[in-house]
């Protein structure tokens, strides 16, 4: 028997069958009749000895031929002329087969009709593997084989590929499925990732997205997020190298939030939602596994924060009384975006009594003055995650977002006499030469990012302190998300 496998079409008649198909078993004698004419080649999907041990039978157990030639049902008969398919029939219908072959006596004694069975090449258990193997996905990453006795998850821990939590093994099939989430080529370079300045292709991002537990539809968000942090403005190298416990925090705006089921409500900054939990994690794995930014190496955070595993959430645009953060940054509401902000862990802010916007603003301002340290002004940005119940105070009063921001900045003016070095017996502080001045806590020109998110009940908001603002530190970056 000839076991050669080729997607090429040979002139004559081609049959595709499998033993595990009653109709194929039924027509096995008919195929032998056709083979006697010398123009039949049969590809068998599951048993190389079916329908016969003969030179006209070829093994297609890899399903290469079936996949390349879109075999959906067996048995299938194909007529090929000059290397081109000119006719095809599926299943068993005696009249069709007789006409196809040109033999009015073919299949004497057999039933007139029997439907075929599903081809193994369209079996859901095989589809991803076949696409990965034969689909021309452009995957080129080095394959690593584990021994049969190895525990794959432990082996990945041992190789330093994880963030301390288990990861999903990035099999060829899983990576191929992940790549289906974007129209971008697998070998396209998305970014150069610090500190190793390694080129990150779409395929490499897909591998890390699989490991993080992402679904394929999240991949465009992961791509845009990595693009954002690998800009000079965001400065991921500096973010890694600082001893301050900060890392990338991502906020998603636009239609894709709903398309992929992101959480912008209850427990928005916590666990429980797959997209929220895995997108930021995938980006952090890319920084570690592609760029080499692992803790103890270039990552020198003295204490870090749990958000460095990956903190990503969606803004509640529908429930907000104001324009979204992305719209503030110049994007249309119909555009999906992701904003990368360098920040520490969220800190809770409580006010359950204020019923006027003026009172609540003063209350929030008092709490925000201590962000990172009360002794730094204008030096670090922040992100305010305003909850729906707190936002309702401003909706009821008809305040605009600009009005709210202006009032906050006014209530966060700091007298430098209170924060110079030595004031109140504290050595930390600004130079004494700056005494007698007044500064806002955050840069009025974009130093405070305001996002609306959280559950519908609960008079709690959060403040996320940033790292050094400006060219010497990190500037928030917003990127459009494209499929």
Nearest to 412 by CA among 434, 382, 454: 382
pLDDT at 453 (0 to 100): 98
pLDDT at 118 (0 to 100): 97
pLDDT at 333 (0 to 100): 97
pLDDT at 137 (0 to 100): 62
pLDDT at 222 (0 to 100): 98
Q: Which residues of the chain have pLDDT under 70?
A: 1-7, 136-137
Say if strands 337-343 and 477-480 run parallel, antiparallel, or are unpaired.
antiparallel
Within 10 angstroms of residue 216's Cβ, the number of other Cβ atoms is: 18
pLDDT at 7 (0 to 100): 61
Start-to-end CA distance of the chain, whole Å, equals 47
Residue 453 to residues 266, 384, 392, 396, Cα–Cα distance (Å):
8, 10, 12, 18
Instruction: Please give the full DSSP string across 62-93, using - where no structure is assigned.
Output: T-HHHHHTT--EESEEEEEETTEEEEEEESEE
pLDDT at 472 (0 to 100): 87
Q: Which two tokens stand for residue 435?
A: 């005494």
Say whether domain 12-122 belongs to CATH 1.10.10.10: no
In whole angstroms, what is the distance from residue 290 CA to residue 205 CA? 9
pLDDT at 191 (0 to 100): 97
The position carrying tokens 């890694």 is 240
Nearest to 453 by CA among 380, 362, 388, 384: 388
In whole angstroms, what is the distance from residue 481 CA to residue 149 CA? 42
In whole angstroms, what is the distance from residue 344 CA to residue 382 CA? 9
pLDDT digits (tens, 9 = 90+) for 106-144: 999 999 999 999 999 999 989 888 887 887 667 778 888
pLDDT at 464 (0 to 100): 98
Within 10 angstroms of residue 255's Cβ, the number of other Cβ atoms is: 13
In whole angstroms, what is the distance from residue 49 CA to residue 39 CA? 19
pLDDT at 38 (0 to 100): 87
Q: Where are the beta strands (DSSP E) in 91-187?
A: 92-93, 113-114, 117-118
In whole angstroms, what is the distance from residue 168 CA to residue 211 CA? 4
Q: Where are the beta strands (DSSP E) in 234-354?
A: 247-253, 311-314, 337-343, 347-350
Q: Which two tokens stand for residue 308?
A: 């460095």
pLDDT digits (tens, 9 = 90+) for 9-32: 889 999 999 999 999 999 999 999
How far is Cα of residue 306 from the mean position of the Cα atoms in its chain? 20
In whole angstroms, what is the distance from residue 467 CA to residue 379 CA? 8
For residue 40, give the DSSP letter.
Answer: E
Helix-then-strand count for the chain, H and E: 15, 21
**Where are the chain's structural domains?**
12-122, 153-480
- Sequence-ordered alpha helix ranges (H) in 386-445: 388-397, 401-411
In whole angstroms, what is the distance from residue 7 CA to residue 125 CA? 21
């Amino acid at each position: 028997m000839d076991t050669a496998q080729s997607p090429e079409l040979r002139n004559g008649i081609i049959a595709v069958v499998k033993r595990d198909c009653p109709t194929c078993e039924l027509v096995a004698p008919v195929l032998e009749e056709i083979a006697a004419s010398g123009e039949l080649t049969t590809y068998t999907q599951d048993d190389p000895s079916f329908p016969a041990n003969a030179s006209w039978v070829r093994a297609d157990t890899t399903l290469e031929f079936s996949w390349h030639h879109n075999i959906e049902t067996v048995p299938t008969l194909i007529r090929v002329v000059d290397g081109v398919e000119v006719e095809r029939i599926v299943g068993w219908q005696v009249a069709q087969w007789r006409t196809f072959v040109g033999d009015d006596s073919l299949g004497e004694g057999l039933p007139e009709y029997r439907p075929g069975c599903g081809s193994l090449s369209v079996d859901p258990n095989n589809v991803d593997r076949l696409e990965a193997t034969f689909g021309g996905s452009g995957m080129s990453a080095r394959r690593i084989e584990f021994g049969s006795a190895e525990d794959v998850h432990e082996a990945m821990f041992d190789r330093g590929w994880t963030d301390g939590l288990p990861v999903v093994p990035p099999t060829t099939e899983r990576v191929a499925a992940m790549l289906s989430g974007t129209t971008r080529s697998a070998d396209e370079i998305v970014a150069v990732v610090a500190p190793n300045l390694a080129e990150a292709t779409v395929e490499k991002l897909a591998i890390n997205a699989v490991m993080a537990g992402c679904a394929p539809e999240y991949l465009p968000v992961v791509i845009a997020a990595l693009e954002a942090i690998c800009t000079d403005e965001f400065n991921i190298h500096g973010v890694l190298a600082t001893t301050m416990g900060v890392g990338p925090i991502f906020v998603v705006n636009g239609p894709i939030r709903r398309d992929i089921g992101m959480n912008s409500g209850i427990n928005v900054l916590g666990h429980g939602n797959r997209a929220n939990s895995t997108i930021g994690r995938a980006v952090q794995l890319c920084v570690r596994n592609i760029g080499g930014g692992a803790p103890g190496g270039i990552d020198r955070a003295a204490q870090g924060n749990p958000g460095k595993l990956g903190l990503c959430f969606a803004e509640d645009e529908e429930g907000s009384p104001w324009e979204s953060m992305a719209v503030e940054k110049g994007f249309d509401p119909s555009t999906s975006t992701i904003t990368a902000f360098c920040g520490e862990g969220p800190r809770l802010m409580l006010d359950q009594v204020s019923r006027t916007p003026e009172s609540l603003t003063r209350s929030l301002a008092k709490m925000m003055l201590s962000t990172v340290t009360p002794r730094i002004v204008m030096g670090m940005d922040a992100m305010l995650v305003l909850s729906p119940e707190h936002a309702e105070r401003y909706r009821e009063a008809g305040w605009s977002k600009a009005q709210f921001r202006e009032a906050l900045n006014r209530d966060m003016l700091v007298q430098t006499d209170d924060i110079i070095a030595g004031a109140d017996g504290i050595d930390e502080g600004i130079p004494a030469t700056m005494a007698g001045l007044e500064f806002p806590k955050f840069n009025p020109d974009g130093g405070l990012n305001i996002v609306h998110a959280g559950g519908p009940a609960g008079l709690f908001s959060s403040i996320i302190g940033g790292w050094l603002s400006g060219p010497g530190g990190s500037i928030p970056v917003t990127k459009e998300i494209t499929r």
